[in-house]
A and B are shown apart, each in its own frame.
Chain A
Amino acid sequence: MNKDFDAHNADYKGWFKVQDWLIDKLSRTEGALIPIQPENMKKWPKAEKDYQLFLENASRLMIRFKKPERLIKMIVNIIDEQLGITHTAVLLYKEAGNAFILIDSKGEDGVKIPVGFIRMTFDNPLVKIFNERKNYVISENGVLVYKELSSLLANKETLAKHKDLGGLVELSLRQMDLLKANICLPLYYKKNLIGILILGDKVTKQEFTRQEIGFFMTLANDAAMAISNAQLIQNLQERIEEIKDLYTKEHHVFIHTAVALAAAIDARDPYTHGHTERVTGYCMSVAGELDGIPEAKAYRNFKETLHIAALLHDVGKIGIPDAILNKKAKLTKKEFEKIKEHPTIGAAILTPIKELGDVVKEIKYHQERYDGKGYPEGLKGNQIPLIARIIAVCDTFDAITSDRPYRKRKMTKVAIQELHDGTGSQFDPIAVSAFLLAFEKGKISNKK
């Protein structure tokens, strides 16, 4: 394998560990703190490099969160922990309710807006400005700053030029009063407003500088990107779960159909009553011993294919007349030739069912012998697929230990001896030894 790919993978796993740790920390203590640089806590960064450091830390943390709500909690946490702002809140657009809902908030008691307590609809002035992008006059860079809005409202000249603006500015200021917001930032993803970041005042009561506002814009952009990614991943995961559910449901129907079909085959033949069920049981016990071998791994789904193949291995007996199937006397050569058609008939019946693609050849070859003297094609050794070789052993074991129209059943001990004797001639040694292993463990139960 490619070395770089491995290195990349290892790195990726490392990230995952860190993320798990963070998620664990966050989920155990509601609103846990994530100290990135404890010495800087509650201190407003002073130098350009402090912002840079904060942003780098923040974006590095952001990409590790896969759940949008957790991610938002983390963003709110680091702002609250490190930047000394009275309160921080993030609202996110929710389709149910067609509004922006407060997802997380932190800050001083009473100033902090309770989680889930407020919503903003599309007639909210802030949402209006962000959504309709009327901000080119109100705010050239897309951010709403209380101080700037106030001076705009005092600027009669600009307001005269944009007559519809005055009302909106006034409403926005009032809205920011209600929220005790100093700065409101839009979170855009591909030009869609997905959320709003609300920031209170600096604890120091100083005004935010241009540089600081620029810093928040970068932070908001990073956050919007990370939140959107997390939302996309979440949607995808939900979709995958839906598909899995659907598959499971269909799959149950499918297995039940196979079981019903197998029961129908058994019902026709009173002498082999329960045969399919027992053979399927033996096969699954044998599968437990063979799970890890390469030939089993080569199947897309070894156990399941074996399960269905075992259930349906005698489906071709539908095409054999009752007179032959239930005959008490020894079969004539012609009758036996007819019986020998059942694997081919079974395969022909199932071939049109696309979902049974893997199963058909197993059914077709379950009467082949390891030494090539079986039917229908006289395949030899590993030419016979593994599952067919397993069914052959289990099928024979049940036949020996069951009553037949033409003879009484034999002891289990005798049957085991026959398997031993047939190893390498009639039977695949691997299939037999797996069967014997399962038998010794008490997993082969042939109670009638």
Chain B
Amino acid sequence: MGKILIVDDEIDVCDFVKYFFEERNYRVFTALNSDEALTLLRREKPHIVLLDVRMAGTDGIETLKKIRNFDKKVTVIMVTAVDDHSRMEEAAKLGAARYITKPLVLENLEAVVLSHMKGIGNE
């Protein structure tokens, strides 16, 4: 079963995306901040991390750096607002697989995750 880690400081987003992917038969973990994300990453070893860029405290880019400190491979998909696009170059350098822009088209969210899961070959 594919495992997804959702990192977003908005609990509504975590809940919604969690149920959304659970309905599609993934195992989903949610983290409201950078520390929770790193703990879950070590413990649950998800295949894909959906990482919000704009978070209070340690933001998405900083969290990505921390993730890369001990996991060079995990697929990270950044979730950005339109105004954060300038930071995506930095995210790409840190090995983010791609980014999707909020507000997002739901089909795209599903398709992006699906395509990366296939690439991982865990489905």
Contact = CB atoms under 8 A, between A and B. Distances in A.
Contacts of A116: 102-103
A117 B19 contact: no
Contacts of B82: 97
Interface string A62-99: 00000000000000000000000000000000000101
B12 A114 contact: yes
Given A111-B19, A114-B16, A117-B13, 10 more contacts: A97-B82, A101-B103, A102-B103, A109-B12, A110-B15, A111-B16, A112-B16, A114-B10, A117-B12, A178-B107
B105 A113 contact: no
A176 to B, nearest CB: 11
B12 to A, nearest CB: 4
Interface string B89-122: 0000000000000111111001000000000000
Interface in B19-75: 19-20
30 contacts: A97-B82, A97-B103, A109-B12, A110-B15, A110-B16, A110-B18, A110-B19, A111-B16, A111-B19, A112-B12, A112-B15, A113-B16, A114-B10, A114-B12, A114-B16, A116-B102, A116-B103, A117-B13, A118-B103, A118-B104, A118-B106, A119-B103, A119-B104, A120-B105, A124-B105, A175-B107, A178-B20, A178-B107, A178-B110, A179-B106
A261 interface: no
A115 B12 contact: yes
Contacts of B20: 178
Contacts of A27: none
A121 interface: yes
Contacts of B18: 110
B105 to A, nearest CB: 6
A87 B13 CA distance: 15
Nearest to B16: A114
A117 B104 contact: yes
Interface of A: 97, 99, 101-102, 109-121, 124, 175, 178-179
Interface residues on B, range: 10 to 19
Which one of A97, A101, A110, A112 has the highest number of Cβ atoms from chain B below 10 Å of its Cβ? Answer: A110
A9 B18 CA distance: 52
Contacts of B15: 109-110, 112
Interface of B: 10, 12-13, 15-16, 18-20, 82, 102-107, 110
Contacts of B16: 110-114, 117
Main secondary structure of the interface of B (DSSP, over half): helix
A112 B103 CA distance: 15
Contacts of B13: 114, 117
B50 to A, nearest CB: 12
Contacts of B107: 175, 178
Which 8 A-B pairs give the minimum distances between C-beta atoms? Answer: A110-B19, A119-B103, A114-B12, A110-B15, A114-B13, A178-B106, A109-B15, A114-B16
Contacts of A109: 12, 15
Contacts of A121: 105
A119 B105 contact: yes
Contacts of B104: 117-119
Contacts of A101: 103
Nearest to B101: A119
Contacts of A124: 105
A180 to B, nearest CB: 9
B105 A117 contact: no
Contacts of B103: 97, 99, 101-102, 116-119
A119 B18 CA distance: 19
A124 B108 CA distance: 12
A118 B107 CA distance: 10
A109 B15 CA distance: 6
A283 B55 CA distance: 57
B31 to A, nearest CB: 16
A112 B105 CA distance: 16
A97 B104 CA distance: 11
Nearest to A114: B12
Contacts of B102: 116-117
Which one of B20, B82, B103, B110 has the highest number of Cβ atoms from chain A below 10 Å of its Cβ? Answer: B103
Nearest to A113: B16
Nearest to A125: B107
A108 to B, nearest CB: 9
Nearest to A178: B106
A101 B104 CA distance: 9
B115 to A, nearest CB: 17
A235 B10 CA distance: 31
Nearest to B82: A97
A175 B12 CA distance: 20
Nearest to A171: B107
Contacts of A112: 12, 15-16
Nearest to B110: A178
Contacts of A117: 12-13, 16, 102-104
B29 to A, nearest CB: 14
A372 to B, nearest CB: 70
